[in-house]
A and B are shown apart, each in its own frame.
Chain A
């Protein structure tokens, strides 16, 4: 899926995560900032990368600001931001 415009999802409240996406040609850049980076940074990156992979996002800038979100919240926020910023006609629920 191609990110065609800037989009944002989520909040900076505790237990949530805010995800911003923007278009970028040729590269995929993921930046993660988390209050629990030391403990869970690798896990957060793994969930973000897996979620982006399932949506076939291979280009773009993805900024993740985590406030202690569960994995399920992180997945939901990444998906929402990508779907808001992407050119989606028919959503395939089986990949979400």
Chain B
């Protein structure tokens, strides 16, 4: 497995049953858009949401961005039908909720492959994401993160997790171990890590404080429930002008060293090795995507 180069800072949740939101949400341009067939959809609308998402996935506007669908667990009467719909419709990534063990990913992987074969889709082209929402999932995070080469990332889901831990959302202390465990598992597996949603959309200060924390920890991005949070998140993840200038110098020095056949190069007397160069490229990628931090 190799580290992903796709930028995934913002993953916007959209209720799969809301026709108006599905018709327009592409204008907000998150890095990934996630249609939800699980908790955001009532039991009586599971069938209608599945069909709405099935057709929305085929819209040209959504084909231009990474699409993710959170299906219902495969243990429910809805999960397999969801999977049939979204794999056939060409979804980029299937997000599995409530992943407690690597076996959950294995079962999903087998089902996805069966559908790909049946509908003529290239085997392996449907990527997966596992959401960790329990103590069991956190304890098994490494095994889950390495369970399939289709996995592009793992996500921590806060609400169910704190319920399982017999606590509630607070200042983030309650998520500290889980965040670190999920993040380390993702880094070990060389896949992306996504943080929990921040549900109070009117608390900009609290949101930005949480974004700063998860960015510093090393998360790739965050699940979002309101389009308003996208720009705030992208700006917080954007590098400063100083960081961009330094990254440009690092990349230029590295390219010069490569042309000269040097294994290691230096900039202002400091050694520049592969991780420094890789980080500089990420900084430039973020700057290209959303400019410099305001």
Contacts and interface: CB of A to CB of B under 8 A. Distances in A.
A33 B57 CA distance: 27
Given A70-B23, A93-B119, A10 B48 contact: yes
A77 B48 contact: yes
A79 B19 contact: no
Given A93-B84, A93-B85, A73 B23 contact: yes
B47 A72 contact: no
A15 B18 CA distance: 9
Interface size class of A (residues with CB under 8 A): 20 to 34
Nearest to A79: B51
Interface string B1-37: 0000000000000000001101110000000000000
B47 A73 contact: no
A73 B22 contact: yes
Contact of B55 (A17, A76, A94): A76
A80 B19 contact: no
A10 to B, nearest CB: 7
A94 B119 contact: yes
B20 A14 contact: yes
Interface residues of B, number: 19
B48 A9 contact: yes
Contacts of A14: 20
Interface of A: 9-11, 13-17, 69-70, 72-73, 75-77, 79-80, 83-84, 91, 93-94, 96
Contacts of A72: 52, 55-56, 58-59
A93 B58 CA distance: 14
Nearest to B56: A72
A96 B19 contact: no
Given A72-B58, A93-B84, A93-B88, A80 B51 contact: yes
B51 A16 contact: no
Contact of A96 (B24, B51, B56): B51
A55 B24 CA distance: 28
Contacts of A84: 47
Given A70-B59, A72-B55, A96-B54, 8 more contacts: A9-B48, A15-B23, A73-B55, A75-B55, A76-B19, A76-B54, A77-B51, A91-B84
